[in-house]
């Protein structure tokens, strides 16, 4: 997601790298590039103008005040501007003191309201709430069927009745009270911002159900029109936040990002996949890091905390500290890896990953082949790969249905990993001690450590220096 914007910005940074001082001509050129990058990312033209002006001002000031690597300063300035543009802080969802908490979904046709409504219901469920979905899209054929199917998938009841959408929405809220549900999510029909009659209808719905949150669903692929649409909806409904849909595509999402600047409301959630639970609260600072290609270690760590089993993690950490690493460990880690989801997703969140690496499609097939090769080895061979001679290699290849060259490659890779693991174990130890006394874990510190372990000079999101070109672990070179 947002790949192209980060690619372009990284390109700019790469060229600035090594320049001791930026001339005014350099700044002009950089601003031109940033302008093009933002426009190609569909950032609203008005917003582009303001942002570029602010970055230029800050950049010129910065180059005058200090000669300390200006490229890093520019990155920091752009990063800060992006965070401001994306909405500063994460929107904190609160609940009505008198339940139910009513949430109204609105947006253009095809923006993803129905799917987002179900995803949001699933999210509320994960927060320990009991949501009810109300299908007030009586316009599109089978829209209510779609909502019912999705509701059944996540075991959330769906209320709808034919007739008038306004009345349906109101009765939906009554129904929630009757059933003792504490959250009501009202799905509405897609409508054009210039369709007066339909806009009046959704305003009526809003008047009837008094939503605590009104979310505008915006497709991440939208172009320049997004801002006008958001303004029009905001005028009628007083939008509280934006749900950014289809963010798992390769859209750069700039238009949606401009919405915050224009209507002053944050992006609350982002849909990152077709599955119901591919839906997250939006973290502006992390997203800025991703746009700049500085990675998103926080999300990665959270993901790991979610899926790793504690004892497995502990075992792996211990072995790493001892600098031990066998093929069995390799196999174990592959299992953990599979839980983390597709490799490309993991790579995208790492700081300082080269673009090719992020884009390389590393399929489950390759993981399977690797597993098959290791499983075809005897216990002895796994513990001590040095004994794997020619005839053993042939046997392993036959057993795993691969070529001897595949086996050779795997062993070579493993030996490299083992070397690296020893080095990392050494690095991790003292830092582990240093962190012991703290009552609370400092995640930024941990992230820095991982950056160090990967061999970089600390590819840390939110800090200059993690700009994609340096910090590349020797492993990848």
Partner 1 sequence: MLASDLVNYGIPAAVIVVLCLSFIVYRSRRQAPGESLPSASDAAAAPLADPSLLASSNVPDSTTAHTADTSSVASTGDTVDEDSLEPAKRVESIGVTEVEAHGSTVESGEDEKASVRERTGRTRSLFSSAFASIRGKGKVDDTTWEELEETLLRADIGIGLTTKLLDPLRAAAKAGQIRTADDAINALRDAMTAQLATSQRSLNMDAATKPNVWLFVGVNGVGKTTTIGKIATAEVGHGTTVLLAAGDTFRAAAAEQLQVWAERSGAAFVRGSEGGDPASVIFDGIQSAHARNIDLVLGDTAGRLQNKSNLMEELKKVRRVAEKAEGTVNEVLLVIDATTGQNGLSQAREFAAATDVTGVVLTKLDGSAKGGIVFAIETEMGIPVKLVGLGEGAHDLVAFDPEEYVAALFE
Those residues whose C-beta lies under 8 Å from the C-beta of residue 72, and which sit 6 or more positions away, are 464, 465, 467
Query: Nearest-CA neighbor of 270 among 262, 135, 286, 41?
Result: 286
Under the binding rule (CB under 8 A), the answer on residue 228 touching partner 1 is yes
**Among 9-17, 142-150, 234-242, 372-380, which window interacts with partner 1 (CB under 8 A)?**
142-150
Min CB(150)–partner 1 separation in Å: 5
- Choose which of 362, 383, 387, 434 interacts with partner 1 (CB under 8 A): 362
Contact assessment for residue 169 and residue 159, using Cβ atoms and an 8 Å cutoff: no
Task: Give yes or no for residue 316 binding partner 1 (CB under 8 A).
Answer: yes
Query: For residue 350, how far is the Cα from the chain centroid?
Result: 11
Site string for partner 1, 156-185 (x = CB under 8 A): ------------------------------
Closer to partner 1 by Cβ: residue 108 or 183:
108
Distance from C-alpha of 101 to C-alpha of 158, rounded to nearest angstrom: 16
From the list 17-25, 53-61, 74-82, 445-453, the region that binds partner 1 by CB under 8 A is: 445-453
Task: Give yes or no for residue 376 binding partner 1 (CB under 8 A).
Answer: no
SS3 394: helix
| Cβ proximity of 262 and 272 under 8 Å | no
Taking CB under 8 A as the binding criterion, the range among 81-89, 95-103, 246-254, 374-382 that sits at the site for partner 1 is: 246-254
Longest dimension (CA), the chain: 79
Query: Which sign does the torsion angle of CA 83, 86, 90, 94 carry?
Result: positive
Looking at the Cβ atoms of 70 and 459, the one nearer to partner 1 is: 459
Report if residue 438 touches partner 1, rule: CB under 8 A. Answer: yes
Question: Any contact of residue 404 with partner 1 (CB under 8 A)?
Answer: no
Binding partner 1 (rule: CB under 8 A), the pick from 47, 78, 103, 350 is 350
What Rg value do the Cα atoms of the chain yield, rounded?
Answer: 26
Is residue 134 a contact partner of residue 169, using CB atoms and an 8 Å limit? yes
141 sits near partner 1 (criterion: CB under 8 A):
yes
If binding is defined by CB under 8 A, does position 25 make contact with partner 1?
A: no
Q: Is 313 in the site for partner 1 (CB under 8 A)?
A: yes
* 230 binding partner 1? (CB under 8 A): no
Q: Which of 347, 385, 399, 444 binds partner 1 (CB under 8 A)?
A: 347
Helical spans, DSSP H, in 134-164: 143-153
Report whether 263 contacts 231 (CB < 8 A). Answer: yes
What residues between 36 and 95 interact with partner 1 by CB under 8 A? 36, 39-42, 45
Q: Are the beta carbons of 451 and 471 closer than 8 angstroms?
A: yes
- Give the tokens for residue 255: 């238009």
Contacting partner 1 within 273-312 (CB under 8 A)? 273-275, 277-278, 298, 300-308, 310, 312
- 338 lies in the site for partner 1, by CB under 8 A: yes
- Of 77 and 221, which has the nearer Cβ to partner 1? 221
Closest alpha carbon to 154 in 134, 116, 125, 128: 125
């Amino acid at each position: 997601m947002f790949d192209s914007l980060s690619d372009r910005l990284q390109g700019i940074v790469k060229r600035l790298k090594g320049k001791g001082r930026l001339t005014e001509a350099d700044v002009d050129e950089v601003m031109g590039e940033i302008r093009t990058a933002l426009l190609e990312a569909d950032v609203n033209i008005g917003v582009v103008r303001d942002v570029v002006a602010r970055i230029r001002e800050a950049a010129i000031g910065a180059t005058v005040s200090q000669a300390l690597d200006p490229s890093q300063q520019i990155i920091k300035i752009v990063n800060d501007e992006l965070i401001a543009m994306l909405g500063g802080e994460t929107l904190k969802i609160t609940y009505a003191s008198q339940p139910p908490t009513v949430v109204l979904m609105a947006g253009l046709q095809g923006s993803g309201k129905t799917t987002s409504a179900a995803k949001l219901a699933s999210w509320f469920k994960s927060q320990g709430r009991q949501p009810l979905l109300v299908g007030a899209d009586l316009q599109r054929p089978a829209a209510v069927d779609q909502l019912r199917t999705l509701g059944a998938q996540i075991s959330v009841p769906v209320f709808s009745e034919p007739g008038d959408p306004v009345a349906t929405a109101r009765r939906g809220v009554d129904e929630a009270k009757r059933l003792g549900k504490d959250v009501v999510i009202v799905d509405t029909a897609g409508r054009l911002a210039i369709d007066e009659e339909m806009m009046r209808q959704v305003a009526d719905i809003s008047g009837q159900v008094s939503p605590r949150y009104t979310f505008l669903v915006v497709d991440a692929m939208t172009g320049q029109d997004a801002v006008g649409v958001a303004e029009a909806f905001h005028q009628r409904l007083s939008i509280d936040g934006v749900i950014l849909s289809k963010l798992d595509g390769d859209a750069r999402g700039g238009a949606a990002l401009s919405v915050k600047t224009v209507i002053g409301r944050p992006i609350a959630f982002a849909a990152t996949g077709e599955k119901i639970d591919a839906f997250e609260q939006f973290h502006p600072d992390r997203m800025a890091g991703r746009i700049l290609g500085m990675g998103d270690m926080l999300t990665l760590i959270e993901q790991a905390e979610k899926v790793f089993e504690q004892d497995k993690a502990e075992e792996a950490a211990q072995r790493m500290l001892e600098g031990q690493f066998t093929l069995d460990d390799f196999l174990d880690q592959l299992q953990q890896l599979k839980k983390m989801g597709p490799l490309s997703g993991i790579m995208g969140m790492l700081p300082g990953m080269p673009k090719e690496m992020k884009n390389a499609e590393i399929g489950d097939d390759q993981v399977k082949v690797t597993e098959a090769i290791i499983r075809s080895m005897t216990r002895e061979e796994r513990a001590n790969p040095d004994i794997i001679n020619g005839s053993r290699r042939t046997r392993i290849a036959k057993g795993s249905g691969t070529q001897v060259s595949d086996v050779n490659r795997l062993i070579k890779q493993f030996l490299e990993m083992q070397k690296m693991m020893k080095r990392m174990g050494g690095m991790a130890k003292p830092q582990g001690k240093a962190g012991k006394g703290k009552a609370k874990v400092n995640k930024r510190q941990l992230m820095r450590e991982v950056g160090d372990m990967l061999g970089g000079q600390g590819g840390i999101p939110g800090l200059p220096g993690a700009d994609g070109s340096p910090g590349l672990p020797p492993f990848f070179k």
